Homo-oligomer: A and B are copies of this chain.
Amino acid sequence: MHRLASELFPLTRSLTGAGYRRTLELLEAVSGPMQRHRFATGERVLDWQIPPEWTIRDAWIKAPDGSTVVTLAECNLHVVGYSTPVHRRLALAELQQHLHSLPEQPTAIPYRTSYYAGHWGFCLTDEQRRTLPDGEYEVLIDADLGPGAVELGEVVIEGSGDGEVLLWTYCCHPSMANNELSGPVVAAHLAALLRERERPRHSYRVVFGPETIGSIAYLSRFGERLAARLVAGYVLTCAGDPGPFTYKRSRRGDSLADRIAEHVLTCLGAEHSVLDFVAVGSDERQFCSPGYNLPVGSLMRTMYGNYPEYHTSLDDLSLITPQALGETLRAYDAIVAALEANETLVGTVLYGEPQLGRRGLYPSTGGPSAALSAGRQQDIMFLLNFCDGNADLLAAAQASGRPLSALAEAADLLREHDLLRPVAPAR
């Protein structure tokens, strides 16, 4: 995953354009085939409109003495995303109005975009900005804004049931590592792992798009289907730094996405914190807009905004580690396993206990038995009493303090003995 991130790092990404499309292709090489969804410039998507496609070829500032101040080639962040084309000379005072830097982080180049306002601008370190001499500068932004498309890539793993799970990530950020190449590279590998599963119960949709306009566009086309079928969903972002896990709940606060993620984090024994939904953040804002209110949370490491390198050139490849990326991938894989294991079951003998002895599920001489471990025996007794068809195995896990995985194994044993059966179609 770290190697893939390194490959993707230098591409000129934005909401649209060649660098963005090349990014999808490199991810697809890992994830397996993606369906593409295209939304043409000018198309209405919910309350929004698809922007023009931005093609950036070159950009630089030259100092009064002709020396180069910044160039696109040196760092993609130097040019404000979606800058309009410009080539002119201008005095420092006027140039200053088009420069962005961070006085409190003097060595960082900030990340700025201006998708919908028709501006142009450059970003640079505050250190460098303070050394600019007076005089006439030359600026060039060789870019086009023209008809094109917002494009999404979607890997679909078909399940046996009607339920769907959404794994969403975004790849419109240029040359930053944790936010946001970590999400796409984990998502691509997760898609590969999902392809290895034998016919899962749920269908899995791993979707790569640009942030905000991507989820808006996806919802405008597929929101109705998601609302009808979505079991749980997660936004994969900030997935590669070695900080503790952060889980941000869906707007519902107790959706299956939330319950599963929190249970899995507890079972993994991983240091983590859980945050309630707020309407500031990433694409979960769209999935959790009040009309949809979908069960979509976000499992991250250190959350966007909570680390100083966020949205600057300091968020580079040194900030993400192979180990952290691996841990995040394993956590999402455990979430998938839990979603697959979680069912609502009902006993076939609800009035009085079933006689376990004659089924070989109870020690035959009143003391401890070797046939079943003490834990398995307790799980069996617990499930037979708990499973009245009104609550799922995850609720059983929460009520008993046992891992869902252990209960699912005990449940399988009881299903073999025809003592439990699923309540509803796999969903």
Contact = CB atoms under 8 A, between A and B. Distances in A.
Contacts of A386: 279, 290
A113 B367 CA distance: 8
A47 B289 contact: no
Contact of A366 (B114, B285, B384): B114
A46 B347 CA distance: 14
B291 A351 contact: yes
Nearest to A289: B352
B365 A112 contact: yes
Number of copies: 3
A288 B366 CA distance: 22
A116 B364 CA distance: 7
Interface string A111-124: 11111110101000
Interface in A251-280: 251, 278-280
Contacts of A46: 349, 351-352
A100 B367 contact: yes
A110 B219 contact: no
A135 to B, nearest CB: 25
Interface stretch (A53-61, A189-197, A354-362): A354-362
Given A279-B381, A352-B216, A365 B47 contact: no
A279 B293 CA distance: 37
B365 A220 contact: no
A352 B286 contact: yes
15 contacts: A46-B351, A48-B352, A112-B365, A112-B366, A116-B355, A117-B357, A117-B364, A119-B364, A119-B365, A219-B351, A223-B351, A278-B382, A279-B382, A279-B386, A288-B385
